[in-house]
Amino acid sequence: MTVHAHPDDEASKGPGTVAKAHDQGIHTVLVCCTGGELGDILNPAMDRPEVRDHLAEVRRDELAASAAIIGYDEVVMLGYHDSGMAGSPSNHDPRCFAQADPDEAVGRLVAEIRRHRPQVIVTYPDEQSGYPHPDHLRVHEISVVAFDAAADPNAYPDAGEPWQPLKLYYTLWSRARLAATHERFVALGLESPFTPEWFERPDLDHRITTQVDITGYTDVRGRALLAHRTQVDPESPFWFGLPDDEMRSIHPYDDYVLARSHVDAPIPEADLFAAVPAFADR
């Protein structure tokens, strides 16, 4: 189970891992906490009145298309409204995720954990100072509480039978990947979209415990992102500035931090399911 804030987050954070797991027969569930109603339309070709006026519905359809490309078996909408960027007036909308009662929000996620009974949950890290979106912060907050609460028979008794997930991971973009991508732009004589400000963000590579080799699945990210036609400009150098064959060879790993574990998983790991009993011998 992966827990994300908005439609399109599932396409940029760990899609190769999910696609690989799905192909290995692992049931994959995406929990999307908001509808992304306040996302900017970043693709000029989609900036049309009929799209702007129905953005929530359009983004829901985009999410379904992206999830199918990645290989999610089920998509769950947690039901909150997009909070908008940090500091915007929309942060105070009583419907938005940032204003949701934390206990109630945890209860919604607990219900989904108990219904789907995942061994592994992937969520956002505790350190998000480089991109402190209110909805991303809230995803982290409710996920770490729900990981324990789902197993507590005294917590949320109306949310289903208790279930203890075995491992909780934080997903992150490594500095090594960022640097390697930037260096490849420079080596090819191309203007890199990774300006110096990108390298001022906290370097969390020392916290990485788990690298999933996504060789054969590196193209999933681009294809899933393109499904989000309002949010992703196909001409964007950030996502598509390098040739596909170059992208395949740059850091073909998804990086994670093992935040909590109820199994003895030796570190470093190469698999989110390392030491999980049903998958230990894969």
Instruction: Enumerate the domain spans of the chain.
Output: 2-173+206-279
Please report the pLDDT score of residue 279 as a whole number.
Answer: 65
Question: Which of 281, 191, 187, 202 has its CA nearest to residue 236?
Answer: 191
**Across the strands, what pairs with 169?**
122, 258
Please report the pLDDT score of residue 278 as a whole number.
Answer: 77
Ranges of the chain whose pLDDT falls below 70: 279-282
Please report the pLDDT score of residue 280 as a whole number.
Answer: 52
Give, for 136, the enclosing helix (H) or strand (E): helix 134-149
Please report the pLDDT score of residue 282 as a whole number.
Answer: 46
Domain 2-173+206-279 has CATH 3.30.479.10: no
Pairwise CA distance, residues 78 & 32, whole Å: 6
Q: What 3-state class would DSSP assign to 258?
A: strand
Give, for 167, the enclosing helix (H) or strand (E): strand 167-172
Dihedral sign for Cα atoms in the order 95, 164, 129, 223: negative
